[in-house]
Amino acid sequence: ETGVTQTPRHLVMGMTNKKSLKCEQHLGHNAMYWYKQSAKKPLELMFVYNFKEQTENNSVPSRFSPECPNSSHLFLHLHTLQPEDSALYLCASSQAPQGAFNNSPLHFGNGTRLTVT
């Protein structure tokens, strides 16, 4: 098993659909993240969970709804998305949350390529 696994790899959805992205980490890490990656832009932090508790919501629209049932699993529920939400959605984990004394790097999954039609 790779360290961070994301499913599905590709997703095409209409603006009225409801879908979910799934992330699972097998590294024993305590912090998990959702990032959005658009072409030629820096990675954009969406949500942070530390020990299953959401510690950061980076002003993300409510059509994106995260869920973290335990320290190994993270979901991103999607509904009524817009075409501009099309992007690569990356899940990441780290031993300790960013900004803590432990400079632990992020470990990323391979992302879900989302296309909203």
Partner 1 sequence: EDQVTQSPEALRLQEGESSSLNCSYTVSGLRGLFWYRQDPGKGPEFLFTLYSAGEEKEKERLKATLTKKESFLHITAPKPEDSATYLCAVQVLITPMDTGRRALTFGSGTRLQVQP
Give the interface with partner 1 as residue ranges (CB under 8 A). Answer: 4, 6, 40-43, 45, 58, 90, 92, 97-99, 101, 103, 105-111, 113
- Residue 22 CB, shortest distance to partner 1, in Å, is 15
* Cβ-contact 33, 23 below 8 angstroms: no
- Residue 42 CB, shortest distance to partner 1, in Å, is 4
Residue 94 pairs in a beta bridge with 31
Q: What is the DSSP string of 5-49?
A: EEE-SEEEE-TT-EEEEEEEE-S--SEEEEEEE-TTS--EEEEEE
C-beta of 66 vs 109, nearer to partner 1: 109
Residue with tokens 């879908």: 19
- Residue 1 CB, shortest distance to partner 1, in Å, is 15
C-beta of 2 vs 117, nearer to partner 1: 2
C-beta of 80 vs 104, nearer to partner 1: 104
- Residue 66 CB, shortest distance to partner 1, in Å, is 17
State how far the Cα of 113 lies from the Cα of 10, in Å rounded to an integer: 5
